[in-house]
Amino acid sequence: MGEWTILLTAAAPGAESGSVEWALFIAQKYAGMFLNATWTTLYVAVSGTMIGFLLGFLVGVINTSQVHPEDFLLKRIFSRILRAIVIVYVEVFRDTPMIVQGMIIYFGLRQSDVEIAPVAAGILVTVLNTGAYMGETVRAGINSVDKGQEEGALAMGMSHIKAMFYVILPQAFRNVIPEMGNTFVNNLKMTSVLNVIGVSELFLIAKTAGGSYYKYYESYLVIAAIYFVLCFVFNRLFGLLEKKLEGKSDYVLATEYLDNE
Amino acid sequence: MSEPIIKVENLRKSFGDHEVLKKIDFEIRKGEVICIIGSSGSGKSTLLRCINHLEKPTSGEILFHNVAVKNTGHSLSEYRAKVGMVFQSFNLFNNMTVFDNCQSGTRKVLHLDKDECKSRAITHLKQVGMAPYIHAKPAQLSGGQKQRVAIARALCMNPEVLLFDEPTSALDPEMVGEVLNVMKKLAGEGLTMIIVTHEMEFARNVSTRTIFMDDGYVVEDDAPGNLFTNPKNPRTREFLKRYMES
ipTM of the shown complex? 0.93
Per-residue pLDDT at A5 exceeds 80: no
Give how far A75 is from chain B: nearest CA, Å. 11
Nearest to A151 among B54, B95, B153 (CB): B54
A25 band by pLDDT with thresholds 50, 70 and 90: confident
Per-residue pLDDT at B225 exceeds 70: yes
A245 touches B at CB < 8 Å: no
- Residue B221: what residue type? D
Each residue's pLDDT tens digit, B112-142? 999 999 999 999 999 999 999 999 999 999 9
Is the CB of residue B70 less than 8 Å from the CB of residue B76? yes
Predicted local distance difference test score (pLDDT) of residue B198: 92
Predicted local distance difference test score (pLDDT) of residue B196: 96
Nearest to B93 among A154, A167, A252 (CB): A167
Contact call for A251 and B137, based on CB within 8 A: yes
* Mean predicted lDDT score pLDDT of chain B: 93
Q: In a mutagenesis test of the B interface, which of A149, A156, A174 is the best target, namely the one with the most B β-carbons within 10 Å? A: A156
Selected residues 42-71 of chain B with any CB under 8 Å from a CB in chain A: 52, 54, 56, 71
B230 touches A at CB < 8 Å: no
Give how far B125 is from chain A: nearest CA, Å. 10
Residue, of A70 and B182, whose pLDDT is higher: B182
A18 touches B at CB < 8 Å: no
Spatial CA neighbour of A60 closest among A150, A133, A145, A138: A138
Per-residue pLDDT at B99 exceeds 70: yes
Spatial CA neighbour of B84 closest among B30, B165, B8: B165
Q: Give Cα A115 distance to the centre of its chain.
A: 25
Q: Which residue on chain B is closest to A175 by alpha carbon?
A: B95
Q: Return the biggest CA–CA distance within chain A.
A: 85
B116 Cβ contact list (under 8 Å, min separation 6):
B106
Which chain B residues contact residue A154 at CB under 8 A? 54, 80
Q: Is A71 helix (H, G, I), strand (E, B) or coil?
A: coil
B132 touches A at CB < 8 Å: yes
Contact call for A149 and B133, based on CB within 8 A: no
User: For residue A220, what are the CA distances in angstroms to A19, A29, B11?
Assistant: 11, 14, 73
Q: Is B36 helix (H, G, I), strand (E, B) or coil?
A: strand
pLDDT (mean) for A208-227: 87
Give how far A106 is from chain B: nearest CA, Å. 42
Q: Which residue on chain B is closest to A162 by alpha carbon?
A: B108
Q: Which residue on chain B is closest to A148 by alpha carbon?
A: B91
Per-residue pLDDT at A259 exceeds 70: no
Per-residue pLDDT at B222 exceeds 70: yes
Which chain A residues contact residue B105 at CB under 8 A? 156-158
Which chain A residues contact residue B95 at CB under 8 A? 167, 170-171, 174
What values do phi and psi take at B196, rounded to 5?
-90, 125
Could you tell me the strand order of the sheet in which B33-37 lies? B83-86, B161-165, B193-196, B33-37, B209-214, B217-222
Per-residue pLDDT at B68 exceeds 80: yes
Each residue's pLDDT tens digit, A30-60? 888 889 989 999 999 999 999 999 999 999 9
- Name the percent of chain B lying above pLDDT 90: 91
Distance CA A234, CA A187 (A): 12
The pTM score is 0.85
Contact call for A155 and B54, based on CB within 8 A: yes
Instruction: Work out whether strand B59-64 and strand B4-15 pair parallel, antiparallel, or are unpaired.
Output: antiparallel
Distance CA A191, CA A176 (A): 22
Q: Which residue on chain A is closest to B132 by alpha carbon?
A: A254
Each residue's pLDDT tens digit, A144-171? 999 999 999 999 999 999 999 999 999 9
Distance CA B239, CA B231 (A): 10
pLDDT (mean) for A135-146: 93
Predicted local distance difference test score (pLDDT) of residue A11: 62
Residue, of A189 and A209, whose pLDDT is higher: A189
Per-residue pLDDT at A8 exceeds 70: no
pLDDT (mean) for B180-201: 94
* Mean predicted lDDT score pLDDT of chain A: 87
Spatial CA neighbour of B134 closest among A208, A83, A261: A261
Predicted local distance difference test score (pLDDT) of residue A6: 47
A10 band by pLDDT with thresholds 50, 70 and 90: low
Nearest to A171 among B77, B95, B129 (CB): B95
Per-residue pLDDT at A71 exceeds 80: no
Predicted local distance difference test score (pLDDT) of residue B1: 63
pLDDT (mean) for A56-75: 84
Predicted local distance difference test score (pLDDT) of residue A261: 45
Residue, of A65 and A40, whose pLDDT is higher: A40
Nearest to A148 among B80, B87, B109 (CB): B87
pLDDT (mean) for B214-238: 93
Per-residue pLDDT at B70 exceeds 90: no
**Per-residue b or e along A99-134, where b marks 16 or more CB atoms closer than 10 Å to that residue's CB:** bebbbebbeeeeeeeeeeebbebbbbbbbbbbbbbb
Residue, of B92 and A246, whose pLDDT is higher: B92
Distance CA B135, CA B131 (A): 9
Which chain B residues contact residue A251 at CB under 8 A? 97, 133, 135-137, 140
Which chain A residues contact residue B74 at CB under 8 A? 159
pLDDT (mean) for A111-115: 89
Nearest to A167 among B56, B95, B133 (CB): B95
Class of residue A241 by CB neighbours under 10 A (exposed 0-12, middle 13-18, buried 19+): middle
Beta bridge partners of B84: B162
DSSP-derived letter for residue A192 is G
Is the CB of residue A124 less than 8 Å from the CB of residue A44? no
Nearest to A253 among B84, B132, B154 (CB): B132
Which chain A residues contact residue B132 at CB under 8 A? 253-255, 257-258, 260-261
B223 band by pLDDT with thresholds 50, 70 and 90: very high
- Name the percent of chain A lying above pLDDT 70: 93
Spatial CA neighbour of B145 closest among B175, B177, B186, B100: B175
Distance CA A141, CA A125 (A): 24
H helices of chain B, in order, are 44-51, 74-82, 98-108, 114-127, 143-155, 173-188, 200-206, 224-229, 234-245
A73 touches B at CB < 8 Å: no
Contact call for B108 and A250, based on CB within 8 A: no
Nearest to B132 among A157, A170, A261 (CB): A261
A211 band by pLDDT with thresholds 50, 70 and 90: confident
Class of residue B211 by CB neighbours under 10 A (exposed 0-12, middle 13-18, buried 19+): buried
Instruction: Count chain A–chain B contacts defined by CB atoms under 8 A.
Output: 104
B100 touches A at CB < 8 Å: no
